[in-house]
A = this chain, B = another copy of it.
Amino acid sequence: MNLIDDRESAADLAAYAAFFEMAEAIGLSGLLDGGRPFTLDEVAEHGRVSGTGAAAFTGALLAAGLLEPGSHPREFVPGADMAGRRYRAGYVSWSMTANRPYLDHAAEILREPASAGNHPRDGRKVAVSSRWIGSYGFYPGVADEILSRKPQRVVDLGAGAGALLIRLLTELPDSTGVALDLSAGACAEVTAAAGRAGVGDRLDVVHRPIESLLEDASPVRDADLVHAGFVIHDTLAQPEVAEGVLRSCRESLAPGGSVIITDAVPYAGGAERAFSALFSYLHSGSMNVELPSEEQWRALLHRAGFAEVTVTRLGMPGARMMVAAG
């Protein structure tokens, strides 16, 4: 099963990624990830498909090994290593699906980088594939780091659908949180998801870009912990904005508080090299984002006033967790 020598295992990964995307489109990701048996009727209901359609799709998933037979013919059990397979499929889905416009128009964009703006990515595909990668690629390391600090008040800048924040508030039953995102859709999703998770009364949702913290730092006021995942790099075209946002965070923190940035360095080497090269090339060439090196991340945080900065490698190639305090 070596990826280099067993050429068929690439076929497995490709098939899983395609099935996961179809299951997501049909509305079945929740059942696949639920960790419990489910029935054909649930598939038909979640997917709004006929019994025949539900049987056809689950039949394919059974054949692929993504489902196993349950205790009766109309019941299914999620297959082995579902979480690992979804995580690995995340790299395929981010590379091939989320970035589809940049791949399809690679020649045009290389000839005229500004033309990338004519080929926007589908925000939902970016969010879904990033979440799949993050499931092992960065969320666990970041969540462990944050939980170890037992923050009373947590702010997530660029919170997306709120998965990290809801997980944190679920594990910290006396804490409160703020989810800030510039997408109205993401804000609506986090409100709904927080309600379902029973943490809605402890979570404020703020619909704003992070740049707004320069004018009004109230969302981060008295936070014990501010997390920013893959959003600071979007402000780096104007370095003073990134620095100002981080300074606002630092000055607003409660005593002993810290800022944690989950983000990436460019062109990491060694085992990280292939995916890090893709991530860096697409950010630079198609998104006009020049990722900072580890030293540049440290310097940025020091300029924003932080005395202590530690940098830790995360699972996603090129990803780093920067913990800033003091």
Residues of the B chain whose Cβ atoms lie less than 8 Å from the Cβ of A278: 14-15, 18-19, 60, 64
B4 touches A272 (CB 8 A): no
Q: A300-326 CB contact bits vs B (8 Å, 1 = yes)? A: 000000000000000111000000000
Contact B2 A95 (CB under 8 A): no
**CB pair A274 B95 closer than 8 Å:** no
Q: Which of B2, B14, B92 lies in contact with A1, CB distance below 8 A?
A: B2
**Neighbouring B residues of A61 by C-beta, 8 Å:** 277
CB-CB nearest in chain B for A110: B53
Q: A47-B107, A49-B111 are in contact. Are A14 and B280 (CB under 8 A)?
A: no
Contacts of A95 in B (CB 8 A): 14-15, 17-18
A12 with B18: CB separation less than 8 A = no
Query: Is A280 touching B63 in the complex (CB atoms < 8 A)?
Result: yes
Which of A186-203 touch B at CB < 8 Å?
none
Given contacts A64-B273, A106-B25, contact A9 B14 (CB under 8 A): no
A57 adjacent to chain B (CB < 8 Å): yes
Count residues on chain A whose CB falls below 8 Å from chain B CBs. Answer: 75
**Is A139 located at the chain interface by the 8 A CB criterion?**
no
A131 touches B (CB below 8 Å): no
Copies of this chain in its oligomeric complex: 2
Q: Is the interface of A mostly helix, strand, loop or mixed?
A: helix
> Do the beta carbons of B56 and A21 come within 8 Å of each other?
no
A150–B25 Cα gap in the complex (Å)?
50
The residue on B at minimum CB distance from A48 is B111
* Interface presence of A114 (CB below 8 A): no
- B48 and A10 form a contact (CB under 8 A): no
In chain A, positions 240-274 with a C-beta closer than 8 Å to chain B are 267, 269, 271-274
- Those of A64-108 within 8 Å (CB) of chain B: 64-66, 81, 84, 87-89, 91-97, 99-100, 103-107
CA distance A284 to B316 in the complex (A): 36
Which residues of chain A have a CB within 8 Å of any CB of chain B? Answer: 1-4, 6-19, 21-22, 25-27, 47-50, 53, 56-57, 60-61, 63-66, 81, 84, 87-89, 91-97, 99-100, 103-107, 110-111, 136, 267, 269, 271-278, 280-281, 284-285, 315-317
A-B interface, 5 closest residue pairs, ranked by CB to CB distance from nearest: A10-B88, A64-B277, A11-B275, A22-B106, A60-B281
- 14 A-B pairs in the complex with CB atoms less than 8 angstroms apart: A1-B2, A3-B3, A8-B275, A8-B315, A8-B317, A10-B89, A11-B88, A15-B91, A48-B111, A56-B281, A56-B284, A60-B280, A63-B277, A100-B100
Contacts A53-B110, A53-B111 known; list 15 others, CB within 8 Å: A7-B84, A11-B316, A12-B275, A13-B92, A15-B275, A15-B278, A17-B92, A22-B106, A47-B110, A49-B110, A49-B111, A60-B280, A61-B277, A64-B274, A97-B100
